[in-house]
Structure 1
Amino acid sequence: MYQDLLFEIKGRIAVITINKPASLNALNKYVITELSEALTAANNDEQIRVIILTGSGEKAFVAGADIKEFADFDSQQAESLAREGQNKLFNKVENLSKPVIAAINGFALGGGLELAMSCHLRFASTNARLGLPEVTLGLIPGYGGTQRLPQLVGKGIANELIFSAEMVSAERAYEIGLVNRVYDSEELLDKTIEFAEKIARNSPLAIARAIEAVNCSNSREGFDKEIRFFGELFELKDKQEGVAAFLEKRKPNF
């Protein structure tokens, strides 16, 4: 079905694996297109509640973008590459109606870290190394790194990581809020699936609106959206089931 991806469904969880271990799962335009298509398929499948993104092997989640692809670009081509990539994949991940969890198994550098940051949650293996090395190439992050990193770790630490191009360990990433949890390499995917199953038991209608509301948390309209969504959910079936289950002292069946 896909050339550079593996797409597996485990119950109500979709696991999408970037499968280019020889290049440490580097991103190029083709991989970005396939990821976009796979995410659309998972988002449209009513049986799937949560999506996990990971990389094949134990060395890398995504070690970065394929530099050879854009080495000879001019400014117009570079802008088009960044804009198309953000619209097709990175912004798409952030705004999906289903939660996306990055299972970061190894290096997450440049575009790889930007992909992980566009996900709603990030779980890392103990051997993970994360960073934005673009300034060593005379560039800056182009897939949302300068925008999402400050939102996650604060402006000061974001500047520190971007200006220095320093890689940080999984433990340091956890300390600064860049990743949510850290697990041993051999249990990372199982633990991520286990957490995804917790999410899958909850209301998909409520979660979809929670994603949209949280994504507006840095804007003036965030509070208004929260209020509107809170009200809208009172008219939907998941709220009826959730409240009934609570009053009847049973687990809800969403």
Structure 2
Amino acid sequence: MSAPFVKLTIENSVGYITFFHPDQNALPSESLVKLERTILDAGRNEAVKVIVIKSGGDRTFCAGASFKELVSISTTKEGEKFFSGFANVINAMRKCPKLIIGSVQGKAVGGGVGLASATDYCLASKFASIKLSELSIGIGPFVIEPAVSRKMGATAMSQMTINAETFFSPEFAKNNGLYAEVYDSVETLDEAVKSLAEKLSHYNSEALRELKTVFWKGTDHWDTLLKERAKISGKLVLSDFTKDSLKRFQ
């Protein structure tokens, strides 16, 4: 694999949404837009009963924001638009009428942690450590914070945010509610995700839809909230501190 992609494949009533980028599965604007649209399409597709979100490759689930694109941002409007891409993906997952299972086979950083947090149920491999690195480059996990705090709690969220250069173990993620289970290999993870998704696909679709509504109760304001957070990040990405920090990734 070399070219970025976002694709939906349907197998036994399960919609597998897979994203890939050669830069450690980072998410530039184009990929974020495609991911949002694919989630919305799967939510409307009657052939899909349950959704699985996963990424290509073995050891990195998602490196978060594309640093190469962050470097190129020159106005607050551009910054807001970029970070709104993450807001739109999280809100698409939140409002999708179907349960979304996350399959995290490798490391998740920044927006990748946000993506995992926005799933309804998340399984991972023993390679799936997590890190919120935003503060170390002068920004902060503002857009994804509501999703991460909702899933893991304010204490774990603040601990990861402040220790921005530290990878936290899959066991930490499991103990704090992000992962339901951690598997010893990617192969056993794939088997567990497939088994669970296909089992759920045979349940009452109406019951699953109502259950999802219950899961996300109290988040109706996120459309506005996450856009406001995108403005904060869009402004901070133009700071001298952040520009200097990002130079090492050019």
Partner of 1:190: 191
Q: Give the drift of 1:96.
A: 0.5
Aligned to 2:27: 27
Show the counterpart of 1:134.
134
Tell me the TM-score normalized by structure 1. Answer: 0.79
- The equivalences for 1:201-220 within 5 A come to 201-216=202-217
Q: Could you tell me how far 1:101 is from its partner in structure 2?
A: 1.0
Q: Provide Cα deviations, 1:135-173, integer angstroms capped at 9, x if missing partner.
A: 1101111432x2122222221221111111122121221
Q: Which amino acid aligns with 2:45?
A: D
Equivalent residue, structure 2, for 1:233: none
Q: How far apart, in 2, do the equivalents of 1:132 and 1:193 lie?
A: 28
Extract unaligned runs of 5+ from structure 2: 221-250
Distance 1:130 1:14, change over 3 A: same
Aligned twin of 1:250: none
Q: Partner amino acid for 1:208?
A: R
Question: 8 Å contact 2:83–2:143 — kept in the other structure?
Answer: yes
**Is the deviation greater in 33-42 or in 54-63?**
33-42
Q: Is the counterpart of residue 101 in structure 1 residue 111 in structure 2?
A: no
Alpha carbon RMSD of aligned pairs, Å? 1.9
Match status 1:78 vs 2:57: no
Whether 1:116 aligns to 2:93 is no
How far has the Cα of 1:76 moved from its partner?
3.4
Give the % identical residues. 24
1:23, distance to aligned residue in structure 2 (A): 1.1
Alignment partner of 1:154 is 2:161: no
Tell me, in whole angstroms, the C-alpha distance in 2 between the residues paired with 1:75 and 1:218. 26
- Give the match's secondary structure for 2:26: coil
Question: What secondary structure, in the 3-state scheme, does the structure 1 residue paired with 2:127 have?
Answer: coil
The equivalences for 1:240-251 within 5 A come to: none
Q: 146-155 or 27-36: which moved more?
A: 146-155
CA offsets, 1:191-223, max 9 Å, x none?
10111112112111121121112211579xxxx
Question: CA contact under 8 A between 2:4 and 2:19: conserved in structure 1?
Answer: no
| Cα contact 2:104–2:124 (8 A) shared by 1 | yes
Distance in 2 of aligned mates of 1:23 and 1:3? 9
Determine helix, strand or coil for the equivalent of 2:27.
coil
2:200 aligns with 199
Q: CA deviation at 1:179?
A: 1.0
Q: 1:3 to 1:148 in 2, by over 3 A?
A: closer
Q: Residues 82 and 142 of structure 1 are in contact (CA less than 8 Å); yes or no, is this contact kept in structure 2? A: no
- Report the TM-score, using the length of structure 2 for normalisation: 0.80
2:171 is the counterpart of 1:171:
yes
Larger radius of gyration: 1
CA contact (8 A) 1:6 1:19 kept: no
Distance 2:106 2:142 in 1: 22
Segment drifting more, 166-175 vs 99-108: 166-175
Between the aligned partners of 1:156 and 1:191, the Cα distance in structure 2 is: 29
Show the 5 A alignment for 1:50-89: 50-73=50-73, 74-87=75-88, 89=89
Larger RCO: 1 or 2 (CA < 8 Å, sep 6+)? 2
| Equivalence for 2:14 | 13
Do 2:109 and 2:131's aligned partners in 1 also have CA atoms closer than 8 Å?
yes
Query: 2 CA distance for matches of 1:218 and 1:90?
Result: 11
* Aligned mates of 2:16, 2:135 — CA distance in 1: 32
Letter in 1 for 2:155: G
Q: Alignment partner of 1:76: what SS? A: helix
Shift of 1:52: 0.6
Aligned letter for 1:115? L
* Residue type at the aligned position of 2:153: G
